[in-house]
Amino acid sequence: MKIAIATDDCKTISSHFGQAEKYVVITIEEGCIIFREIRAKANQQGFKREGLDGNHRHRDDPRGRGYGRRSEENHKRMFKAIDDCQVVLARGMGNGAYHGFHQMDIQPILTDIRDIKLAVQAVVDGSIKDHPERLH
């Protein structure tokens, strides 16, 4: 199993998936970490610089913020680096991204755990809890 963690500092889980700068990707086999890597992540700051910030323009979709053509394109760019993962962890995420992960068969988990090591252990031992109230 591969777990992607949205982060800025490689130690703590980002409170906002879309703004996180990178991913820490942990590979787990038989309950043990066998590989850890850092992957680049497209993010909202980069989209703003490129003039592609669609997350705050929701007139094109009745579901609201985080949906619509531009947002879906941006999400695909964010997801591309972790399309081989089964789980993604963040401490907050927009509805559009959350549903986009489900469409890709990647399980998004919104956790209240800040520390990456503790959260990964909670995934491995099955004690992690998803907090959908952290959707925005």
86-126 pLDDT, tens digit each: 999 999 999 989 999 999 999 999 999 999 999 999 999 99
Listed in order, strand segments (DSSP E) in 8-59 are: 22-29, 32-40
pTM here is 0.85
The answer to whether 1 touches 86, Cβ cutoff 8 Å, is: yes
Could you give the maximum distance between any two Cα atoms of the chain, in Å?
A: 47
The answer to whether 20 touches 108, Cβ cutoff 8 Å, is: no
106 phi and psi angles, rounded to 5 deg? -110, 130
pLDDT tens for 17-71 read 988 999 999 999 999 999 999 999 986 554 555 555 544 444 556 665 666 777 7
> Sign of torsion, CA 14 55 80 28?
positive
